[in-house]
Amino acid sequence: MKIAIVGATGLVGGVMIKVLEERGFGNSEMLMVASEKSIGKEIMFGGKTMKIISMEEAIKARPDIALFSAGGAASKQWAPEFAKIGTFVIDNSSAWRMFAHIPLIVPEVNAEILTPDDKIIANPNCSTIQLVMALAPLHKLYGIKRIVISTYQSVTGTGVKAVAQLHGERENKACEKAYPHPIDLNVIPHGGTFLPDGYTTEEEKLISETRKILNDQSILVSPTVVRVPVLGGHSESVNIEFHNKFDLEVIRNLFETSKGIVLQDQADENHYPMPLYVQGKDEVFVGRLRLDPSCPNALNMWIVSDNLRKGAATNAVQIAEFIIEKGWVENR
């Protein structure tokens, strides 16, 4: 097995390396790929020191799978080049997500749509992944009519520069700004860039990606994205209106038995999901389940997950594992 990690020096790339080590890829041949300025630098994998190589070198090595987390521009330019030589590209940027012919995959939800001919596969946005993990079993059972979602997103979702800004402000040190306002002791109702309709690109992703993954364009989605001074873990307050009547106990049982979901919903014990406690974990945590007294057939819930793991790196590696389990790599 030969696997390329494109964007190996980045925040998500580093977590991809860790997840691959944890999930038994230690004997695979790894190609660490990054931008020109990083070529020649060294990265550890499986106790071995590896040098960063260029995109061209990686393509010449003909990897079986390439995990991309190098930004949209790099993905647009280089993913097709890897695909031409038969490499399965799993891309973590937004570059390919909304192309009709590109599958947008959360393995527990819709891996079955993948085929051996899908050489470019899109990894959804971090906030979308945890959302659809919780929504998918509910949609199958009751049919979702409308979702109102407010996110509380970690600075790690923005990147290294945002993490440095939070630390710099907290320590009262001069720092480069990732946000137009202070993030420490503040919340910023702004994720991505603003669109003409007043929504942001991060909010638009929640609408379009949710519909695509659940394969239902009729679902109404009303999103608000908020950045909070948290270092790891995205949280989401979600109100769901169903087409059909639902049973709260059935939903509890459904979450308790759904793969990749952990139900934490013991209010009398102050037991509910929080970003501080999900860091380093791959599951999606769900809690605060309760009826909406203002709307028939509506449910409120709270969803939290590590945005760098299940929201990015782990989901990508799980897609790779699915491809390997299907034997598609062996048949290249």
Mean pLDDT of the chain: 96
Active-site entry in 167, 234, 271, 295: 234
Tokens found for residue 331:
């048949």
Active-site entry in 101, 126, 167, 175: 126
DSSP class of residue 144 equals: E
**CA–CA gap between residue 42 and residue 47 (Å, rounded):** 12
Instruction: Show Cβ contacts of residue 253 under 8 Å, excluding neighbours closer than 6 positions.
Output: none
Domains, the chain, in order of start with CATH, read 2-124+312-325 (3.40.50.720), 127-307 (3.30.360.10)
DSSP class of residue 199 equals: -
Q: What is the pLDDT of residues 25-73, one digit of tens each?
A: 988 999 999 988 999 999 999 889 999 999 999 999 999 999 999 999 9
Q: Is 101 designated active site?
A: no
So what's the pLDDT on residue 146? 98
**CA–CA gap between residue 82 and residue 77 (Å, rounded):** 10
Closest by alpha carbon to 222, among 122, 130, 145? 145
DSSP count for the chain of H helices, then E strands: 10, 13
* Inter-axis angle of helices 126-142 and 248-257, nearest 10: 130
Whole-structure pTM over 0.95, yes or no? yes
Which pLDDT band holds residue 126 (cuts at 50, 70, 90)? very high
Identify whether the C-beta of residue 179 lies closer than 8 Å to the C-beta of residue 162. Answer: yes
Identify whether the C-beta of residue 140 lies closer than 8 Å to the C-beta of residue 246. Answer: no
Residues forming a β-bridge with 234: 305
Q: Is 126 designated active site?
A: yes
Q: What is the pLDDT of residues 239-266, one digit of tens each?
A: 999 999 999 999 999 999 999 999 999 9
Q: What is the pLDDT of residues 154-208, one digit of tens each?
A: 999 999 999 999 999 999 999 999 999 999 999 999 999 999 999 999 999 999 9
Query: What secondary structure does DSSP assign to 270-299, as a single string?
Result: TB---HHHHTT--SEEEEEEEE-TTSTTEE
